[in-house]
Amino acid sequence: MNWRLRSIIPFLILLAVFSVQWLLLFSLRAPTWDAVSYYVYARSAVFDHDLEFANDYQLSYPTAGEDFASKELDQIQTVTGYVQNIFAVGTSVLWLPWLALLRLAAVFNWAPGVASTAMTGYEPFFVANISMLSVLFGFLAYLISYLVTESVTSRMIALAATITLMFATPLLYYQFREPMYSHTASAMVVALVVLFWWRQLQAEQFGFWQGLGLGALIGLAGLVRWQNLAYLALPAVSITMWWFSLPRDERNHTWLEVAVYLLLVAAGALLAFALQMIVWRVLYGSFITIPQGSGFMDWRAPYLNPLLFSTFRGLLPWMPVFFLSLVGLLALSRRSPQLAWPLLIMLLLVIYINGSTRDWFAGGGYGPRRLTSELVLLVVGYAGFLQLVPCHLRSWIATFLGILLGSHQWLLLRYGLAESLGGRVLSMNPTFEWEDEALSTFLTDLLRLANESAQDPLQALVFPGSPLDVFLRLREPSWEHLTVLIMTSLFVILLFVVALLVQQSAASRSH
């Protein structure tokens, strides 16, 4: 088989899986709750050129729902007199160029359904296109995760692991049902961090631009979700391991190079994250703050047990693939210690941080969503787990586990949130209380849902409001559906061309 075709087949397979997911799941919804708070940064910058969010929140109320409007977020002011926003700015930073182009299109009357003289930024034209951009962020996160994994395992194992993770985490929900949250953007940028870091480590290139560039990517990841700043530990751990692996006489000559590299990483991260610090300074009067309050974090990590095992969004009941990935990273540490040990340490560090957060359950969301940023770590780890399976059984076990894990997440996604499966939130800030149910009750409910789904599989597979649902109900597809379809097609063509050029360039260098 031609090398170019062979190298592009995994991309086409992942694209086919993504397309099926889009048809079954994608929903065009007006932003509400967290999505509004992420969006107001971009909306205010593009439409109003300020950080005054009162009107941005007010404009969202007609479509965001009465419950959200009743919170009157436009009335909650900080010590500096600005309306507060407790969410990170980075997702809006990634949306900004696209939103600016959308607004320009509306100004020239190229945007259907938008009056150029009275646009708000909450019209379906803007919401649909920003949502689809976030959906594509998710696809890129999986594609990058595959590239990292394929460098240390076989192509088939990397592909099987990536496809399984496309179905086995709550990212599936936030990619297609609530795309205007930060989760797909976070998974994509963290995957970029890991890819950039791993390529540096493989080439043993720790120069000025490498350090500064990696630091800037980590800073960008921190802009998207603040906890991602923990990835500063990734180059620190790996270059320390690399330095100790050198002969003693070489260590004496390279310690300064290592120190300068780490300083450059820190400087790059600080430069990128400075934007969030400036926003904090404007909104809260301080460059460093925890907007949720000083009591939001308890560094004794008292919430590790529910984070791992609670039926109310704990990892074992809601994302069991996490534990298989953990085992896989341990197994992979023998074959590829330079990759596996830093990733394993990062995964444990992230667990510790989330176990120290008072709302470890992440408010009113779906599943252990804060762990979706670690998608690339989970894909690599799960591939390591599959490598433990004897070769003659590997394809069967990979298929069985993929179906089992995917079906489990699909049932939770389809019915778990609507039925408050596993428990519910009792109160938020400042008390943060929750209620969970017995594991036996959780499993009984899950089996009941599986039985009901088997009796009507079409209803279980096709989500309300999805493109396929619109088609099956013989409704006229909205122009928003057509817009995002065109946008997706153009993006995929562009990505396909870029992939071909990259593969051709790599082949030319190898020859």
Task: Give the per-residue SS3 of 200-234.
Answer: HHHHCCCCHHHHHHHHHHHHHHHHHCHHHHHHHHH
Query: Does the pLDDT at position 167 exceed 80?
Result: yes
Average pLDDT, the chain: 91
- Determine the average pLDDT of the residues in 438-449: 94
> In which domain, by residue range, is 220 found?
3-28+134-476
> Of 286 and 488, which is predicted with more confidence?
286
- Which positions ≥6 away from 177 have C-beta within 8 Å? 25, 27, 29, 413, 463
Smallest CA-to-CA distance from 138 within 67, 191, 69, 70 is with 191
pLDDT confidence of residue 164: 98
Answer whether residue 510 is part of any domain: no
248 is a domain residue:
yes
Residue 507 lies in a domain: no
pLDDT at residue 484, as a whole number = 63
For residues 149 and 158, the answer to whether their CB atoms sit within 8 Å is yes
DSSP alpha helices (H): ranges in 47-150? Answer: 54-64, 66-69, 90-107, 124-150
The whole-number pLDDT of residue 467 equals 85
Asked if the structure places residue 460 within a domain, the reply is yes
Residues 44, 180, single domain; the answer is no
CA dihedral for 341, 347, 348, 353, sign (positive or negative): positive
Half-sphere exposure of 173 (CA within 13 A, CB side): 22
Q: Summarize the confidence of residues 96-110 as an average pLDDT.
A: 92
Q: How many angstroms separate the CA atoms of 355 and 324, rounded?
A: 19
Looking at the fold, whether 211 and 241 belong to one and the same domain comes out as yes
Mean pLDDT of 193-214: 96
Say if residue 503's pLDDT is above 80. no
The reply to whether 111 and 225 lie within a common domain is: no
Q: Are 325 and 467 part of one and the same domain? A: yes
For residue 509, is pLDDT > 60? no
Looking at residue 46, the DSSP 8-state letter turns out to be I
Query: 423-427 and 433-436: which strand pairing?
Result: antiparallel
Residue 468 is predicted with a pLDDT of: 86
Among 346, 344, 352, residue whose Cα is nearest residue 384 = 344
Instruction: Find all residues with CB under 8 Å of 472, minimum gap 6, and list them.
Output: 458, 462
DSSP run (H or E) holding 155:
helix 155-165
Tokens of 196: 């950039």
Tell whether 506 is covered by a domain: no
Q: 453-479 pLDDT, tens per residue? A: 999 998 899 999 888 888 787 565 565
Q: What's the pLDDT band for 429 if we cut at 50, 70, 90? A: confident
- Of the pLDDT bands very low, low, confident and very high (cuts 50, 70, 90), residue 250 is confident
Per-residue DSSP letter, 370: G
Tokens coding 93: 């930073």
> Can you say how many angstroms the Cα of residue 208 is from the centroid of all Cα atoms in its chain?
29
Using the predicted structure, report yes or no on whether residue 381 has a pLDDT greater than 90: yes
pLDDT mean over 298-305 = 95
Question: What's the CA dihedral at 423, 425, 431, 436 to 10 degrees?
Answer: 0
Query: Over 60: is that where the pLDDT of 511 sits?
Result: no
Do 379 and 397 sit in the same domain of this protein?
yes
Q: How many domains does the chain have?
A: 2
H/E stretch holding 425 reads strand 423-427
- Helix, strand or coil for residue 401? helix
- Do 283 and 316 reside in the same domain of the chain? yes
Q: What is the pLDDT of residues 204-244, one digit of tens each?
A: 999 999 999 999 999 999 999 999 999 999 999 999 999 99
Whether 45 contacts 13, CB under 8 Å? no
Average pLDDT of span 27-40: 94
